[in-house]
Amino acid sequence: MTAPPPPLPRPPDPGEARTNLVLAAVGEPELLRADAARNRVLLLDAASRLLACSGPANLTMESVATAAGVGKGTVFRRFKDRTGLLIALLDHREALLQAAFLSGPPPLGPDAPAAERLHAFGPALMRHERDHHELILASRNDPLRTYAVPAQRLRLSHVSLLLRQAGAGGEPELLAHTLLGTIDTPLVHHLTCERGLSTGQLEEGWHELLTRYGVPR
């Protein structure tokens, strides 16, 4: 039987915001030996080149092994499966976003009021995922895995904390799930590509929901 995903971290109290929320990898964190770290960089470089040339649909463990000049088993040992490889490719991009909302300048960073940061966070996350939507969609072969990865738990904790600091009504974690669900990559892709909505309309929806939750714009 597959083990259940680890519990979501408790959102910290307002005074803990700067110390408890730290950068989280998209996939599970690990400590690597120097040679293993070099192999990981080699494989990710090869995967990035293939991704740029042919897109995520044509990215396979075999093609990465060939491009990197290693055996296929090396790729499987490093990333376990194709989803693990795709998630690893997202790590660097995710780190840039996390740095922006954890320690960057306002309105995303900690020097802005909680309400202002909340209103800035949704559009920033939407733009980030829109820029990498093909890679993100390709990595979503297990719906439950989305909620278990550290990066998603960090986003949830961050939004929950800001909701609490901004004095929003209701249960902060449940509200955070609802807010993040409205800008999840598959839904945004469907609404913009299939339904013809603009990103501006979706961003306005984020602001409207926050206002309804008692977070003034």
pLDDT in tens, 96-119: 889 999 999 999 999 999 999 999
Q: What is the pLDDT of residue 8?
A: 39
pLDDT in tens, 25-46: 655 445 556 777 788 888 988 8
Mean pLDDT of 9-31: 48
Q: How far apart are CA 103 and CA 112, in angstroms?
A: 11
Whether the predicted pLDDT of 168 surpasses 90 = yes
**What percentage of the chain carries pLDDT values higher than 70?**
83
The DSSP string of 29-42 is -----HHHHHHHHH
Q: What confidence score (pLDDT) does residue 26 get?
A: 58
Q: Where are the alpha helices (DSSP H) in 104-184?
A: 114-131, 133-138, 143-148, 150-165, 172-182
pTM of the model: 0.70
